[in-house]
Every structure is written in structure tokens, then in C-alpha cells.
Amino acid sequence: MELMVLLNALVTRLLFVLHSLIGVWRVTAVKKEPKYWLLALLNLLLCLETGLTLKFKQGRGYKWFSPAIFLYLICIVPSLWLLEIHHGTQYCGNEPGAVQVNISNQDFNQSRDNSHGSEGTDHHIIQTAKVFVNQLSTICETVWTLALHQTFLLLLVVGRWLLPIGVEITRDQLSQLLLMFVGTAADILEFASETLDIEDVRKNYALINAILAVWTWSMLQFPLDLAVQHIGCKPSGSARRIPSLLLCRYSAELWNIGVSLFIQDGPFFIVRSILMGHFRIFNQMLVFFTAKNILVVTLQLYRLAVITLDFRATVLQKSRKGEVCCCPCEPYEARAHATGHQENEMKEFVAFPPKEESQAPSEDH
């Protein structure tokens, strides 16, 4: 089992490094400047995190936070920024793509014939790799950028699935988290592709930076696991306050509401409203997703009101009965205390039996 844990930890981080290196390669090819290869040095942080995790955690994850996912974001996001800001004007049509595929097939056949006739298998592999790289280089920049966006979000979900989990998170919680990440990744991809593909947006450099900043901000929810975990609070004096009790009882729900309002749907709604209100940009998809963001924000506020009213009613009900309001992490201690109290009563019952039962045997004797 430990071997599988180490293998999953290494393979997942290797996929992260390879994908970030592909992004750096595309930036270097687009910019045509070798200095952008320095972005590959960011992967040293991920390598350092891998060594520390294997040494101190035996490859397993941490509670509430995934350093591997966070460092992967640091490695790949700068490359995607540069590709989106550059946004080449190369034409992406069906006919040029077909011509490129035919030419590449001819190159593959020629390299195969040359390798069989002269230098053998090793030369054939090298020639095939060169032809394959040349074929990838002929793909237009917009297709490359979109493909990197898609594989980036898919690798976030798959990588979080493959990464070994710690003892603080269960398989059930991980499955819930992955399902949430799938929907979140789809919304983020739609936001980036739908807004940045507008021609008027591409003409405004400041607007592109603002959209990419919001997109980067929305990515920060992936390294965190607070959406499926409750905060373990202890029955102390500070924990008896109303805000602390509310956070203790509904920590996962409040985190989901906060992510929607301040990290994802709220900022997305603000950006789309600015595009329509200030820049007068209108299209069918933009209006639809703006309405969707409004609906989600409204439902999240409604959910927050329901949680607050329900908690307030519970506190008032328990205060009238003279009971102490506890958070969900305390019932186990409360049950343990109640069980201990019942055991003490049983011991007293055994040590001091009732008088009726004690007198009956004496009369018969």
C-alpha cells in the first residue's frame, strides 16, 4: 500500500511538471525568445515540495490544503498569461489543417523508409519525434492556448484524484470534492474562453489583464479542501460565542457560499456586467451566463439566510430549555459524558440494591 502511495505521489507531480514544461515551450515558440525557458525554473519549487512530502508525510497529503496543486498553479499560470496576452493572429481553418496532416504523414513515411535503409531503429525514433514536434508546431496559437486551458483544468481534477489523501479526509469527502471541482472547472473554462474570444476585449489590453486576474483568482479554490470538511472546534469559552458556533456547525456550507460569492460567481458577474454596462458588449452567451451568475449569487444569499435563521432558532430553543448549544464536533464528547454518568448510576445501583429486594430473601429464610 505504501508503494502505491509513493507511486501516485510521484506520477501525479511528474504530470504536473510535464504539462508546465509544455506551456513554457509554447511560450518560447510563440515569443521566439529563449529567455522564457527561465519559467521552467518554477518547477524546482514543485520538486522541493515533492522531496519534503516524501520525507515528512510519506507521500500523503495535508489537511485542508494541497501544496502540490498550489505549486502547479504557480508553474503553469504565468505561461497561460503570456499566451493569452500574445494571442497570435494565425488563421485556424479546416483546409490548412488537412494540408498539414497530409504533409506530416508523408514526412512520417519518408523518415520510416530512410531509417530502415540506413541507420536502424534509433534513427527512426529520432526522426519520428522531430516530425511529430514539427507537426505540433504548425498548429495555430489559439488552438494551442485553448488546449492548454482544457488540459490544465482536467489535470487539476485528475491530479487531485490521484494524489494520496491524508488521514484527515475520507474517500467520501474526496469524491464530493472531485464532483465539485468538475463543475467549477467547467465554469472557469467557459468564463475564460467566452470573454477572451470577444474581439472588442482583445483590443483592450487592460481589460485582458483584468479578466486574467479574475481567472487566476478563481483558481485559488482548487488547493483548498474546506468545501467538504468541518472545522473541529473544542468546547471552550471562545467557542460558545454565536459567530464561532455558527462557523463550527456550518463551516463547509459557509465556505461554499464564500467561494461562490467572492471567488467565482460574484467576480464573474462583476466582469460580465462591466462588459455589458460600460463597454456595451452584448451577445447571447454573455447575457445567458450573466443571468446564470445572478441566479447563483441570489440562491447562495438565500442559502446563507436559511442557515442563519435555522441556527438562530436552534440557539433560542436550546436557551429556553436551559441546554448548551454545541457544534457538531461535540456530540461525541457529550455522549461520552452521558454514558459515563449512566455507568456511575449503574455502579451505585449494584452497590446499594433497593430495600425491597434485600428484605425479601430474609423473610423467606
Give tens-digit pLDDT for 9-51: 999 999 999 999 999 999 998 888 999 999 999 999 999 999 9
More confident residue, 5 or 186: 186
Give backbone dihedrals phi and psi of 44, rounded to 5 degrees, phi first: -65, -30
The secondary structure of 297-365 as a DSSP string is HHHHHHHHHHHHHHHHHHHHHHHHHTPPP--TTSHHHHHHHHHHHHHHHHHHHHHS--HHHHHHHHHH-
Which cell goes with 149?
Answer: 486551458
State the SS3 of 113-130: HHHHHCCCHHHHHHHHHH
Give tens-digit pLDDT for 223-246: 988 766 666 555 554 445 667 777
Beta partners for 65? 224
Cβ-Cβ contacts under 8 Å for 163 (sequence gap 6 or more): 8, 9, 12, 61, 66, 68, 69
d(C-alpha 84, C-alpha 145), whole Å: 7
Cβ-Cβ contacts under 8 Å for 254 (sequence gap 6 or more): 246, 247, 304, 307
User: What mean pLDDT is reported for the chain?
Assistant: 78
Give tens-digit pLDDT for 101-151: 444 444 545 545 554 544 556 677 777 777 766 776 667 788 889 999 999
Q: Is the pLDDT of residue 216 over 90?
A: yes
d(C-alpha 229, C-alpha 252), whole Å: 6
Give tens-digit pLDDT for 336-361: 444 444 444 444 444 445 444 444 44
d(C-alpha 293, C-alpha 214), whole Å: 14
The predicted pLDDT at position 199 comes to 87
The predicted pLDDT at position 185 comes to 93
Cβ-Cβ contacts under 8 Å for 2 (sequence gap 6 or more): 58, 59
Q: Please name the helix (run of DSSP H) or strand (run of DSSP E) that holds residue 44, with its range, or none.
A: helix 43-56
The predicted pLDDT at position 233 comes to 59
Task: Count the helix, strand and coil residues of the chain and give each as a percent rounded to the nearest 5.
Answer: 80, 0, 20
Q: Nearest to residue 111, comparing CAs of 130, 93, 92?
A: 130
Which cell goes with 308?
Answer: 442563519
Which of 95-109, 163-177, 258-272: highest mean pLDDT? Answer: 258-272
| Domain boundaries of the chain, sorted by first residue | 1-90+140-227, 230-324
Lowest mean pLDDT among 53-57, 90-94, 231-235, 310-314: 90-94
Using pLDDT thresholds of 50, 70 and 90, give the confidence band for residue 303: very high
Answer positive or negative: Cα dihedral of 86, 90, 94, 100.
Answer: negative
Mean pLDDT of the 328-337 span: 44
The predicted pLDDT at position 240 comes to 54
Report the share of the chain in percent with pLDDT over 90: 41
d(C-alpha 74, C-alpha 222), whole Å: 12
3-class SS at 65? strand
Q: Nearest to residue 182, comparing CAs of 150, 214, 216?
A: 150
The predicted pLDDT at position 98 comes to 37
Cα end-to-end distance, the chain, whole Å:
68
The predicted pLDDT at position 324 comes to 54
Q: What is the pTM of this model?
A: 0.76
How many other CB atoms are there within 10 angstroms of residue 34's CB atom?
A: 8
Residue written as cell 473544542? Answer: 234
